[in-house]
Amino acid sequence: MLLRHTPAEITERKALAINPAKTCQPIGAMYAALGIHGCLPHSHGSQGCCAYHRSTLTRHYKEPVSASTSSFTEGASVFGGSANMLQAISNIFSVYNPEIIAVHTTCLSETIGDDLPQIKKKAQMEGKIPAGKHVISASTPSYAGSHVTGFSSMVTAMAGMAESTGKKNGKVNIIPGWVEPADMEEIKRLAGLMGVKSIVFPDTSGVLNGPLSGEYKMFPEGGTTVAELKATGDAVGTLALGDWCSGDAARYLDKEHKVPCKILDMPYGLAATDRFIDALRTMAGITVPDEVALERGQLVDLISDMHQYLYQKKVAIFGDPDQLIAMTEFLVSLDMQPIHIVTGTPGKKFEKRIKELTAGLGRPVNVKAKGDMFLLHQWIKQEPVDLLIGNTYGKYIARDEDLPFVRWGFPILDRQGHQYFPTVGYKGGLRLLEKILGELMDRKDRDDPESKFELVL
């Protein structure tokens, strides 16, 4: 038993978090920043944070993740980090020459109270930012929010680059939220299939799922360009996928540049994808081509074919709010029963939304924002499930409780494919379903007595 000290009995904990279902803000900001073309993320604080964030992103994406740090030692922590940051800016532009530096804070620089916009002004005055180059910043103290809110802050900082010329460019902004590079690609593919001109930001496709070719490019081809970010101010509208990750940036564009926005769920599963396609259609003023309807039909077909294996299966899931909301809706639509749901990210709205989505199950559902995996495990011990869905850390619970386990979310450290195969859209729905069914059927094949072991499932 790997988690042998976890008791089934639940006692209230006020101070101790055990096995978190979240991590800290800057890693989200770093991931988002990698979705800008030619961008070097910069961590303003001591170098350990940056090393940890880079390591975790690298382990998940299996790709180089470059990011610089202000490398505070004790002096900077006492006297403020402005000198380190200024030095960093000139070193970065002379050694790496990025188009843009996206700075985020850490707990340390936030606690000292370093003012990034102020430091940026100083850098500008001192001529440390070459002409045509950019520095943007996001405040990401980790004693608030989670990696998800850190992601959102950096995406909002990107929206801060928007400019409006007064002339619409006919494009739709799509803010995909914290999804995989392959998902961003899939969202672009769908928009392309529909003939919609779009600006997707951030866009890590091509950056964090690059080829092996004998060349290393610190700034690969992919990513949303600065020009595109500027052009978001002239778009006909914005679709924000997931309120937690993308809502703030969309609302900002609406408020500052009068780009109307619609905030949707992330397009995981059938219904959320339907709403995404429909919103895209109306915003761009086009009709949906048959190819999209065909993909949709294939997903519906697989659901109907395999319904017998899904019906009333109990599921425990953990992860990030935007993803969990869409996944819960998908599971309910498959007639499965998501009954234990935990995110580490705070937000009362989350619990309310999950309650609404699961109301039709006609049974109590455990849901907690600001929860942790220790609690989730205790819930599972109280009422066992047929399937667990979440990031790699779930494998300890899965092994102890002998549960089929689908890896989905962040981080996935021990399986491949998430960089390359989308789980959004109808095709992504097929893949999610394939994974879920694969796990359930493998389990059936393992557990069935020999007399019931069948070739045709």
Partner 1 sequence: MGTAIDSKAAAWNAEEVKAELLKKYPPKVARKRAKQILINEALENETPEISANVRTIPGIITMRGCTYAGCKGVIMGPTRDIVNLVHGPIGCSFYAWLTRRNQTDAGPDGENYMNYCFSTDMQEQDIIFGGEKKLAAAIQEAYDLFHPRSIAVFATCPVGLIGDDIHTVAAKMKEKLGDCNVYAFSCEGYKGVSQSAGHHIANNQVFRHIVGENDEVKPGKFKINLLGEYNIGGDGFEIDRLFEKCGITCISTFSGNSTYDQFASAHTADLNAVMCHRSINYVADMLETKFGIPWIKVNFIGAAATAKSLRKIAEYFGDKKLIARVEEVIAEEMPAVEAVAAEVRPRTEGKTAMMFVGGSRAHHYKELFNEMGMKTIAAGYEFGHRDDYEGRRVIPDIRVDADSRNIEEIEVEADPTRYQPRKSPKELEALEKAGYQFKYYDGLIPDMDNGTLVIDDLNQYEAEKLVELIKPDIFCAGIKEKFSVQKLGVPMKQLHSYDSGGPYAGFQGAVNFYREIDRLVSSKVWGYLKAPWQRDPQLSASYNY
Task: Kindly identify the residues of this chain, within the stretch 75-104, that bind partner 1 according to CB under 8 A.
Answer: 75-77, 84-85, 87-92, 94-96
Binding map of partner 1 across residues 308-347, x = CB under 8 A, - = no contact: ------------------------------------x---
Contact region with partner 1 (CB under 8 A), list: 46-54, 264-272, 327-335, 383-391: 46-54
**Token output for 16:** 């101790």
CA dist 85 and 108 (Å) reads 13
CA dist 53 and 43 (Å) reads 9
| Site membership for ligand SF4, residue 146 (CB under 6 A) | no
**Least distance between partner 1 and beta carbon 63 (Å):** 5
CA dist 57 and 426 (Å) reads 27
Residue 69 touches which member of partner 1, ligand SF4, none, C-beta under 5-8 Å by kind: partner 1
CA dist 298 and 426 (Å) reads 8
How many residues are there in the chain? 457
In the set 85, 107, 158, 264, which binds ligand SF4 (CB under 6 A)? Answer: 107
| Site membership for ligand SF4, residue 139 (CB under 6 A) | no
Which amino acid appears at position 9 of this protein? E
**Least distance between partner 1 and beta carbon 439 (Å):** 22
Contact region with partner 1 (CB under 8 A), list: 137-145, 229-237, 311-319, 320-328: 137-145
Which amino acid appears at position 298 of this protein? Q
**Least distance between ligand SF4 and beta carbon 142 (Å):** 4
The candidate with the shortest Cα–Cα distance to 69, out of 195, 52, 156, is 52
**Token output for 31:** 């991931």
Binding map of ligand SF4 across residues 40-79, x = CB under 6 A, - = no contact: ---------x--x---------------------------
Residue 95 touches which member of ligand SF4, partner 1, none, C-beta under 5-8 Å by kind: partner 1
Tell me the three state secondary structure of residue 312: coil
Measured between alpha carbons, how far is residue 410 from residues 28, 127, 241, 316, 415 in Å?
Answer: 11, 39, 17, 16, 12
| Site membership for partner 1, residue 164 (CB under 8 A) | no
| Site membership for ligand SF4, residue 24 (CB under 6 A) | yes
Residue with structure tokens 């409780």? Answer: 401
Binding map of ligand SF4 across residues 186-225, x = CB under 6 A, - = no contact: ----------------------------------------
In the set 21, 26, 162, 176, which binds ligand SF4 (CB under 6 A)? Answer: 26
| Site membership for partner 1, residue 13 (CB under 8 A) | yes
Site for partner 1 in 203-222 (CB under 8 A): 210, 212-218
DSSP H or E segment with residue 103: strand 100-105
Tell me the three state secondary structure of residue 270: helix
**DSSP per-residue letters across 140-202:** --TTSS-HHHHHHHHHHHHHTT----SS--S-EEEE--S--HHHHHHHHHHHHHTT--EEESS
Site for partner 1 in 110-129 (CB under 8 A): 110-112
Q: What is the CA radius of gyration of the chain?
A: 23
Which DSSP symbol is given to 285? T
In the set 68, 142, 173, 204, which binds ligand SF4 (CB under 6 A)? Answer: 142
